[in-house]
């Protein structure tokens, strides 16, 4: 059950990657005569009415201290729970998915964009869990962008929100104040929300270990030069690369690392830079995104560098294989598990009072492609 909202406000249902169906609105609770209600107890204790309900009924994981406080206030107010009214079967909850800075061609999503992998898996997870999704694409950095005009952010349309890739932090603060928010990968220290994503450092450490086990002792690293603005994920992968070298007892060569700090080497010059490192003794390279791995695999042979005979390449991310090339050796993000955890976390946040923000990392899955092998003698 997915409704897709494009930037122009029109429903897009041609099936680029998601099917479009309407999700029924949540039915309203039955009206009861005026009496002391759960909301009054909730306001006294500064918790949600749902938490009050579960505390009184004995359902859910509620702290004993909270149960005792709820019982005390309920007794003071002489609260009498309303009689149960038979209601129709529950309708699915609906969550918004807001995608920022989407790479697009002609106004449509770029199929090579890794964020679309998450959208596909979020749809599958939503179908499995019986919840609805409403997806909207937003140019998060556009001047004058009015987030309150984006359909998925309109009050009352969603029970919670998933943020896919960077948004301005002041906007995230406002969104988090309105209800449960889970950010995919990106951290916003000033906002109260949860973060779920790949285990970036562990993935890069695993890549170093794999190449070390194959016999490589001089391993270079290529960072994503297009990760502008919010670079924490790339920083974590570089940290994992450095930790991996240290664990394996290998020497860190600053000249073997590019695009972590200036100067920046753009994609057009990246093959020539890599070929120079091979001639200087590098036998393997880790690329922080698969796209660069496939780029090097495609453009190094004309420069006299064979893959994997002269240079092994290991990527991180797990996007679809580039046309005309075999499968890259990579650590593929666990898109399905991450998507399920995100939606499960949103559902649990609707039923629990917030105690602490969570940051969850899911290790990636190794894909034994054809771009890595033992170095030549």
Please state the length of the chain: 377
8 Å CB contact between 240 and 316: no
Does 8 share its domain with 153?
A: yes
Residue 235 has pLDDT above 60, yes or no: yes
Which of 33-42, 63-72, 156-165, 198-207 is modeled with the greatest confidence? Answer: 198-207
Q: Which of 220, 261, 266, 263 is nearest to 242 (CA)?
A: 220
List the CATH number of the domain containing 49. Answer: 1.10.260.40
Per the structure, the complete domain to which residue 245 belongs is given by 200-334
Does 219 share its domain with 324?
A: yes
* Residue written as token pair 């562990």: 202
Quote the percentage of the chain above a pLDDT of 90. Answer: 40
Residue 179 lies in a domain: yes
Q: Which of 156, 45, 93 is nearest to 345 (CA)?
A: 93
Residue 24, helix vs strand vs coil = coil
Residue 369 lies in a domain: no
Residue where one domain finishes, among candidates 157, 192, 227: 192
Question: Which pLDDT score, from 0 to 100, does residue 66 have?
Answer: 83
Question: Which pLDDT score, from 0 to 100, does residue 82 have?
Answer: 59
Quote the percentage of the chain above a pLDDT of 70. Answer: 75
pTM of the model: 0.71
Residue 113 lies in a domain: yes
Question: Which pLDDT score, from 0 to 100, does residue 111 have?
Answer: 58
pLDDT confidence tier of residue 314, bands split at 50, 70 and 90: very high
What's the pLDDT tens digit per position in 237-277? 999 999 999 999 999 999 999 998 887 898 999 999 999 99
What's the pLDDT tens digit per position in 60-118? 667 778 888 888 888 777 776 655 544 444 446 889 898 876 555 555 555 556 777 88
- CA–CA separation, 17 vs 10, rounded Å? 16
- CA–CA separation, 318 vs 314, rounded Å? 11
User: Which residues partner with 205 through β-bridges?
Assistant: none
- CA–CA separation, 342 vs 129, rounded Å? 11
Looking at residue 371, what DSSP letter applies? S
Does 61 share its domain with 206?
A: no
Question: Which pLDDT score, from 0 to 100, does residue 87 have?
Answer: 43
Residue where one domain finishes, among candidates 171, 192, 213: 192
Residue 111, helix vs strand vs coil = coil
- CA–CA separation, 131 vs 133, rounded Å? 7
What's the pLDDT tens digit per position in 179-196? 899 999 888 888 999 999
- CA–CA separation, 144 vs 151, rounded Å? 17
Question: Which pLDDT score, from 0 to 100, does residue 28 have?
Answer: 42
Task: State mean pLDDT over 326-341.
Answer: 94
What's the pLDDT tens digit per position in 216-225? 999 999 998 7
Question: Which pLDDT score, from 0 to 100, does residue 275 have?
Answer: 97
- What Rg value do the Cα atoms of the chain yield, rounded? 25
184, two tokens: 């995919």
List the CATH number of the domain containing 11. Answer: 3.40.50
Q: Where are the alpha helices (DSSP H) in the chain?
A: 38-45, 49-57, 64-76, 114-129, 169-178, 200-214, 232-248, 270-279, 290-299, 335-351
User: Which residues partner with 194 through β-bridges?
Assistant: 182
The gap between the terminal CA atoms of the chain, to the nearest Å, is 56
Q: Are strands 94-100 and 284-287 parallel, antiparallel or unpaired?
A: unpaired
Contacts of 164 (CB under 8 A, 6+ apart): 97, 98, 99, 100, 115, 118, 119, 184
Question: Which pLDDT score, from 0 to 100, does residue 94 have?
Answer: 87
Instruction: Give the residue with greater pLDDT, 362 vs 31.
Output: 362
* Residue written as token pair 């009015």: 146
Residue 306 lies in a domain: yes
pLDDT confidence tier of residue 30, bands split at 50, 70 and 90: very low
The burial class, CB within 10 Å (0-12 / 13-18 / 19+), for 323 is exposed
Does 206 share its domain with 220?
A: yes
Number of structural domains the chain divides into? 3
């Amino acid at each position: 059950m997915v409704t897709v909202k494009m930037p122009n406000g029109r429903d897009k249902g041609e099936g680029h990657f998601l099917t479009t169906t309407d999700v029924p609105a949540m039915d309203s609770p039955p009206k009861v005569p005026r009496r002391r209600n759960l909301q009054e107890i909730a306001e006294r204790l500064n918790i949600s009415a749902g938490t009050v309900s579960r505390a009184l009924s004995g359902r859910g994981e509620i702290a004993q201290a909270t149960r005792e406080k709820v019982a005390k206030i309920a007794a003071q107010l002489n609260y009498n729970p309303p009689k149960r009214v038979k209601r129709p079967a529950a309708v699915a909850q609906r969550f918004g998915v807001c995608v920022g800075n989407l790479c697009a061609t002609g106004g449509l999503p770029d199929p090579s964009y890794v964020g679309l992998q998450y959208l596909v898996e979020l749809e599958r997870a939503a179908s499995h869990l019986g919840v609805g999704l409403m997806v909207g694409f937003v140019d998060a950095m556009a001047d004058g962008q009015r987030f309150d005009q984006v359909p998925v952010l309109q009050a009352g349309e969603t029970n919670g929100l998933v943020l896919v890739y960077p948004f301005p932090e002041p906007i995230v603060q406002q969104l988090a104040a309105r209800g449960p928010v889970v950010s995919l990968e990106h951290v916003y220290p000033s906002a109260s929300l949860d973060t779920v994503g790949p285990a970036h450092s562990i993935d890069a450490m695993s890549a170093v270990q794999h190449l070390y086990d194959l016999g490589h002792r001089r391993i270079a690293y290529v960072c994503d030069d297009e990760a502008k603005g919010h670079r924490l994920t790339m920083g974590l992968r570089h940290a994992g690369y450095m930790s991996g070298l240290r664990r394996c007892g290998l020497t860190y060569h600053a000249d073997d690392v590019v695009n972590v700090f200036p100067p920046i080497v753009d994609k057009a010059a990246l093959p020539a830079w890599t070929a120079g490192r091979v001639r200087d003794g590098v036998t393997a390279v880790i690329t922080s995104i698969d796209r660069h791995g496939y780029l090097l695999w495609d453009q190094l042979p004309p420069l006299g560098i064979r893959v994997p005979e002269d240079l092994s390449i290991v990527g991180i991310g797990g996007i679809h294989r580039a046309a005309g090339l075999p499968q890259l050796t990579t650590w593929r993000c666990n898109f399905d598990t991450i998507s399920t955890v995100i939606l499960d976390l949103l559902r649990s946040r609707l039923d629990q009072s917030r105690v602490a923000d969570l940051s969850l990392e899911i290790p990636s899955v190794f894909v034994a492609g054809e771009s890595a092998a033992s170095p030549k003698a």
